[in-house]
Amino acid sequence: MNKIEKKIEWNKYIISLSPIFLILYISNETYAIDYRAFYLAGKSVLNNLNPYLNHISLNIDFYGPVNSELSKFSGWKYPPIASYLFAPFATLPYEFSKNLFNFISLSSISLLTLLIIKKRLLYINPNSLMIVGISFPVLATISRGQVEIIIVCLALLSFYFYKKGALLLSSITIAILGFIKVFPLLLAITFIQSKKRIKFFTYLIISLLILYFLNLILCPLEWRLSFIERITIPWNEIPIGDLKELPNNVGIIKDSMMVRTSDARNLFHSHFFVFGFANPLLSNNLIEKVSHIIITAHFSDHLDAESMNMFSKSIPIYTTHEASKALLKLGFKNVYAVNKNKSYELNSFVLNVYEAGKPYNTTTFSYSLTDGRAKVFHEPHMFNTKLDIKDVDVCIITVDQVKVFGLVQVSMNLEQAQLTQSRLNARYFIPTGIAPKRTKGLISYLLGIKEYYTQIDLMPFICRDVGDSVSI
C-alpha cells in the first residue's frame, strides 16, 4: 500500500459527519417522548421515589405520556441502578435536558467514529457515514430521545479498549451496558475465541458482581420488585393509578401529535415529520384552538385527507356538497353542506356564503366571516364582480394568473386582485397561490402561469410566508 492509499482523507469524513448535527433541530422541536421516561426516573431518584411508579398525583411535573398517563407505572423499564445515570440530567429544565442528552449522544458517536478511523481499527467509508447520519433509525432515535446511540458508543468503546489490550476497561464497559440494557451482554460472546478469554471473563464477572452489589445498596427492595413486576406484566394489563383524570394543563393534545406539560412548551410527540416540522398549525399549537373549519372546494389543494386527520372528527365543517361526501367518508360527524346566499352562525361569528366567479360558480363558493367588528373575505379562485361587499378588513385572494391552455382563466392576476381590493375597500391582502413557478414539467405550459409575486409590494400584503399570522 502506497502513502497516498494510507493517508486518511479527513475532509471527507468531517463533511460526512457534519449533517447529523442538523438533527439537533429535530431534537429541539420534538418532545423526545422516550427520553421523558428517563428524565422522570432521574427526577424520582432525586426525590427518593420509586422510579417505576407514576408520581403525577404527587406533583404535576411527573407527567409522562408513554404508557403512563393514568397508569400505576411510569414509562421507566430499565434496571434500577440505571435510573441514577439520569439523575444529573433531571436537575436541568426538561427541554434543555433532552437537547443536552441528544447533543452528548451525537458528539460521542462522532468522536468515537473519528477515533476508530484514526487508529485504523476499522475501515469506514465516508459516504456510509452520511447515509447513516440521515437514516430513519438515527432520526427516530433523536426525535424520541432514545439511548441506543449511547449504547452503540459504549459497545464501540469496549471494542476499542479490547483492541488496545485494556481487557479490564473493556469488561467494565460491557458490564455497564448490561445494567442499562441486558442484551448488550451478548457482546461478551465475541471474546470467546480470544486467547485471553479467561482473563476477560474473570474481569467481566467481577465487574457484574460489583454493579450488582451497588444495585442492592443504592436501590431499595421496593424498586427491584417493581422492576420485575414492570417488565413481566403485559402492557395492556397495566393497572390504573391514583388519578382518574389528568389536570387540565397536561396531556397529549387530542388528535394533534403534541404533548403539553407543566415544565415544557408544547412539543411534537415523536418524529412526525410530514405534519410536524412543516406545518405552522402544529409548530404554533393552533390545532387545538380551531373551533370550525371552512372548506371552499373538494379539490385536493383545498381538501387534503391527511391534513384533515389532525383535527377531531367532531369539529364542525362548512363546505360544498361534493366535499361533504368526502369528509363523511373520512369519519367527520358534523359536516354542513352550505348554500349560496345563506348565512350561518359559528359561535360569535356569522358566515355569509356567496357565489364564486366563473368558471367556479357551480363547484366552489366564496364567503365572508364577521363578528360585527371585523370582516374577512375569502375567494379562492375568481372574484364574482356581481357581489356587493364593502369595507372588508382582510381579503384572502389569489394573485398569480393561471390560464388553462392559455384560454380559460382560472385564477386572478394582479390587476384583477387590485380591482377586487378597490371593490371590497379592503385594508389588507393575504395572498394565496403565490410562487406558481414551482410548478414544473408539461403541466406548467398547459396552465399558462403568470407570476406576479415579484410585484407583491405594490399592494398591502400580509402573511406572505408559511407560518405568518395576523390578529384582527
pLDDT at 293: 94
β-pairing verdict for 317-319 and 335-337:
parallel
Instruction: Write the CB contacts of 287 (distance below 8 Å, at least 6 apart in sequence).
Output: 253, 255, 256, 258, 281, 310, 311
- C-alpha grid cell, residue 435: 410562487
Compute the average pLDDT of residues 199-226.
92
With CA atoms as reference, report the closest residue to 386 among 415, 356, 409, 362: 356
**Taking 60 as the threshold, does the pLDDT of residue 439 lie above it?**
no
pLDDT at 278: 42
Burial class (CB in 10 A: 0-12, 13-18, 19+), 193: exposed
- CATH class of this structure's domain 280-458: alpha beta
pLDDT at 1: 42
pLDDT at 94: 94
Burial class (CB in 10 A: 0-12, 13-18, 19+), 37: buried
Stretch among 33-37, 60-64, 154-158, 468-472 having the lowest mean pLDDT? 468-472
HSE-CB for 19 with a 13 A CA cutoff? 16
pLDDT at 105: 92
Instruction: Tell me the pLDDT tens digit for each residue of 153-163.
Output: 898 888 888 88
* Whole-Å CA distances, 385 to 188, 389, 401, 411, 432: 80, 10, 17, 14, 19
Compute the average pLDDT of residues 191-210.
86
pLDDT band at 2 (very low <50, low <70, confident <90, very high): very low
**Taking 90 as the threshold, does the pLDDT of residue 42 lie above it?**
yes
How do the domains of the chain map onto residue ranges? 3-237, 280-458
Q: Can you tell me the distance from the alpha carbon of 106 to that of 100, in angstroms, rounded to the nearest whole number?
A: 10
With CA atoms as reference, report the closest residue to 227 among 92, 50, 411, 58: 50
Element (H, E) at 344: strand 343-346
Instruction: Tell me the pLDDT tens digit for each residue of 58-109.
Output: 998 999 987 788 899 999 999 999 999 999 999 999 999 999 999 999 888 8
Amino acid at 327: L
pLDDT band at 279 (very low <50, low <70, confident <90, very high): very low
Amino acid at 433: G
pLDDT at 162: 84
Compute the average pLDDT of residues 140-146.
87
Instruction: Tell me the pLDDT tens digit for each residue of 394-413.
Output: 888 877 666 666 666 667 77
**Taking 50 as the threshold, does the pLDDT of residue 315 lie above it?**
yes
Instruction: Write the CB contacts of 99 (distance below 8 Å, at least 6 apart in sequence).
Output: 24, 27, 28
Q: Can you tell me the distance from the alpha carbon of 105 to that of 429, in angstroms, rounded to the nearest whole number?
A: 47
**Taking 50 as the threshold, does the pLDDT of residue 227 lie above it?**
yes
DSSP state of 30: B
**Taking 50 as the threshold, does the pLDDT of residue 276 lie above it?**
no
- C-beta of residue 373 within 8 angstroms of C-beta of residue 394: no
Instruction: Write the CB contacts of 397 (distance below 8 Å, at least 6 apart in sequence).
Output: 378, 379, 380, 383, 412, 417, 420, 429, 430, 431, 432
Compute the average pLDDT of residues 324-352.
91
Compute the average pLDDT of residues 213-241.
89
β-pairing verdict for 394-398 and 375-379:
parallel
Round the average pLDDT of the chain to a whole number and report it: 81
| Residue 173 vs residue 18, higher pLDDT | 173
pLDDT at 102: 93
pLDDT band at 338 (very low <50, low <70, confident <90, very high): very high
Compute the average pLDDT of residues 14-40.
84
pLDDT at 3: 43
Give CA angle at 219 (184, 86), nearest 5°. Answer: 60
pLDDT band at 286 (very low <50, low <70, confident <90, very high): low
| Residue 211 vs residue 358, higher pLDDT | 211
* Whole-Å CA distances, 408 to 137, 165, 358, 394: 49, 78, 10, 28
Q: What's the helix, strand, coil split of the chain in %, to 5?
A: 45, 15, 40
pLDDT band at 277 (very low <50, low <70, confident <90, very high): very low
pLDDT at 222: 95
pLDDT at 109: 86
280: preceding bond cis by omega (within 30 degrees): no
pLDDT at 91: 96
pLDDT at 403: 65
pTM: 0.59
Compute the average pLDDT of residues 429-448.
57
Instruction: Write the CB contacts of 239 (distance below 8 Å, at least 6 apart in sequence).
Output: 71, 72
pLDDT band at 436 (very low <50, low <70, confident <90, very high): low
pLDDT band at 444 (very low <50, low <70, confident <90, very high): low
pLDDT band at 274 (very low <50, low <70, confident <90, very high): very low
pLDDT at 429: 78
Stretch among 15-24, 79-88, 143-152, 275-284 having the lowest mean pLDDT? 275-284
Stretch among 243-247, 250-254, 356-360, 443-447 having the lowest mean pLDDT? 443-447
